[in-house]
Amino acid sequence: MPTATAAVARAAGRPFTFEEVRLAEPRPHEVLLRVRAVGICHTDLSVRAGHTPFPLPGVLGHEAVGTVVGVGSAVAATTPGDTVVATFASCGDCPPCREGRPVQCAHWPALNLFGGRRLDGSPTLFGSDGEPLNGHFFGQSSFATLALASDRNVVPVPSDLPVQALAGFGCGVQTGAGAVLNVLRPEPGHTLAVFGAGAVGLSAVLAARLTAATRIIAVDLHPGRLDLARRLGATAVVNAGESDPVAALAELTGGRGAERTLETSGDVRALRQAVAGLAVGGMCGVVGAPPAGTEVGIDVPQLLDRGPRIVGINQGASLPQRFIPALVELYRTGRLPVDALVHTFPFEQIERAALEARSGRVVKPVLLID
Ligand code: CXF
Ligand code: ZN
């Protein structure tokens, strides 16, 4: 059994502890990675805080870039020595997977969030005492020196690019850029307003620059993040703590509202504003997740009158084997400059990295593992 060091989340609200763990041997379609960089996403911290259900003790981490060090007997898409980005898991067998929509996999929650095991219930991780630990988080559990993934959720990428820049492509960058490029697809003359200028929202701003959207408006409460949004291509910013975003969107669009909005913060007030700020016939993409069970009301006469489309988008509606290489190529050619979002920390400083992200000082913390 391969042995690794992992940052283990023992219980909700407790600091990570560095422990020796053992990984299961790769099954036919599985891949063993030496993790070289792994981003911290809000979802990791939300699980660690006890707000998103995942069974603890366990190993989180779902934005790995690594080197393949072992493959199961049926793996054809990658080979030892390859650099890969690890992304979300999907079963490959259910109707949405077969129809090319793995983000809507029938087993998505079990495979990525709540399961802690493979779908058949077998553990992939063990503590040094031999007891099973929860793993398989997004099919990877990559806050560790080694991670077990599968041939469906690793994507080979060029080996000559900085690993820290590619880490977010497995979740945050894919989520923000995919929402814009795969779903919202703003047209010439359109205004896109992005609520939340974190890693997902800023990736959406970067992607919006690749479209013909005329106006790209970032909405947040944090002045530093709004400055960064401007530097990355937002044509206007709105500080939601100082002015009403719905009124600001109306003013910036000659009274029409935004043809496209994207809610990335998970705040229901922001979601209401993102819908209220739409132009007639506009589309609001929802990627930010409030706590389970959260509802918002719909004004039905306004629904009929204004015809908004409100679309939930998971992982940027990505087909990872196609979309991630495309994003990586955009990065390589300077057209998706995600370096501006990234701050690196040594793996041992995972707590400091988490703290900096929570304070808003750091947009995308990436842990480097040597
Ligand atoms: C999240 C999005 C919100 C629900 C849980 C999964 N995706 C990535 O971190
Ligand atoms: Zn994530």
The CATH number for 213's domain is: 3.40.50.720
221 pLDDT more than 90: yes
Three-state DSSP class for 12?
Answer: coil
List CB contacts of 28: < 8 A, sequence separation 6 or more.
72, 73, 74, 75
Average pLDDT over residues 126-145: 97
Residue 292 has pLDDT above 90, yes or no: no
Domain identity same for 65 and 80: yes
Nearest CA to ligand 1 atom 4: 289
What's the pLDDT tens digit per position in 248-266? 999 999 999 999 999 999 9
Query: In the predicted model, what is the mean pLDDT of residues 61-82?
Result: 98
351 alpha carbon – ligand 1 mean position (Å): 21
174 lines ligand 1 (CB under 6 A): no
The reply to whether 7 and 149 lie within a common domain is: yes
87 Cα: distance to centroid of ligand 1 (angstroms): 12
Interval between CA 320 and ligand 2 midpoint (Å): 14
Q: How confident is the model at residue 368 (pLDDT cuts 50, 70, 90)?
A: very high
Same-domain check for residues 138 and 13 = yes
**Beta bridge mates, 30:** 150
Q: Are residues 22 and 64 in the same domain?
A: yes
Ligand that comes closest to the CA of residue 170: 2
Asked whether residue 102 falls in the same domain as residue 227, the answer is: no
Kindly state whether residues 290 and 322 are assigned to the same domain.
no
**Average pLDDT of the residues of the chain:** 97
Using a 6 Å cutoff on CB, does residue 87 contact ligand 1? no
User: pTM (2 decimals)?
Assistant: 0.98
Please name the residue whose Cα sits nearest to atom 3 of ligand 1. 289
In a shared domain, residues 112 and 80: yes
- 3-class state of residue 164 by DSSP: helix
The residue whose CA is least distant from atom 9 of ligand 1 is 43
Whose atoms come closest to the Cα of 63: which ligand? 2
Pick from 140, 144, 153: nearest CA to 75: 153
Q: 302-309 long-range CB contacts below 8 Å, 24 or more apart?
A: 306/278, 306/280, 306/281, 307/280, 307/281, 308/275, 308/278, 308/281, 308/282, 308/283, 308/284, 309/281, 309/282, 309/283, 309/284
Q: Is 171 in the pocket of ligand 1 (CB under 6 A)?
A: yes
Q: Which amino acid is at 280?
A: V
User: Is there a single domain that holds both residue 166 and residue 77?
Assistant: yes
* End-to-end CA, the chain: 21
Query: Do 352 and 345 contact (CB within 8 A), yes or no?
Result: yes
Same domain, 331 and 290: no
Task: Kindly state if the Cβ of 150 falls inside 6 Å of ligand 1.
Answer: no
Dist. CA 1 → ligand 1 center (Å): 30
Region 330-353 average pLDDT: 98
Range of the domain at 159: 3-172+317-368
Any idea what the CATH number is for the domain that residue 27 is in?
3.90.180.10
Rounded CA gap, 276 and 150, in Å? 42
Beta bridge partners of 156: 84
Task: Return the closest-CA partner of residue 287 out of 207, 182, 169, 179.
Answer: 179
Look at the chain and report how many structural domains it folds into.
Answer: 2
The pLDDT score that the predictor gives to residue 156 is 98
- Quick one: 242 and 321 in the same domain? no
Please write the tens of the pLDDT for every residue from 75-85.
999 999 999 99
DSSP 8-state secondary structure symbol assigned to residue 25: P
Which residue has the least CA distance to atom 5 on ligand 1?
Answer: 43
In a shared domain, residues 47 and 184:
no
Instruction: Supply the residue whose CA is at minimum distance from atom 2 of ligand 1.
Output: 289
* The one-letter amino acid at 192: L
Same domain for 340 and 222?
no
Mutate to test the pocket of ligand 1, among 42, 43, 112 (most ligand atoms within 8 A of CB): 43
